[in-house]
Amino acid sequence: VQLQAFGGGAVQAGGSLRLSCQASGRIRVSNGMGWYRRAPGKERELVAAITSRGSIDYSDSVKGRFTMSRDNAKNTVALQMNGLKPEDTAVYYCNSLPADVIRWDDDNYWGRGTQVTVSS
């Protein structure tokens, strides 16, 4: 398994969680990574991204609440999530940036995600 996300859980609205992702094998976080999520009944979406140069951007839905970081030496990325909302409920994954669109629907490509559940 080249990608493993950790740190999910169940929290109440307004709470916080910190996700982490360990990359291995051919995947180097220094090349650019994204945090993606898939909510029940919805398409997978990109919510945070860091480029090879270190530029970070967020989807409008999480901007101002989520913070992405990277540790190239440890080959890990993290996602600090504050002010969680019920609509943030999803399975969260990390993967390369950009993701391979040909494999977008291949569960094996996404590795081990972590469930985040936010109750109102």
Q: CB–CB of 19/81 below 8 Å?
A: yes
- pLDDT value, residue 1: 66
Long-range contacts of 57-63 (CB under 8 A, 24+ apart): 61/87, 62/88
Q: Mean pLDDT, the chain, as a whole number?
A: 95
Q: Bridge-partner residues for 19, per DSSP?
A: 79
- pLDDT value, residue 72: 96
Rounded to whole angstroms, the Cα distance separating 29 from 50 reads 9
Q: How does pLDDT run across 80-115, given as a tens digit for each residue? A: 999 999 999 999 999 999 988 899 988 888 988 999
CA 7 to chain centre: 11
Q: How does pLDDT run across 10-38, given as a tens digit for each residue? A: 999 999 999 999 999 899 999 999 999 99
Per-residue pLDDT at 59 exceeds 70? yes
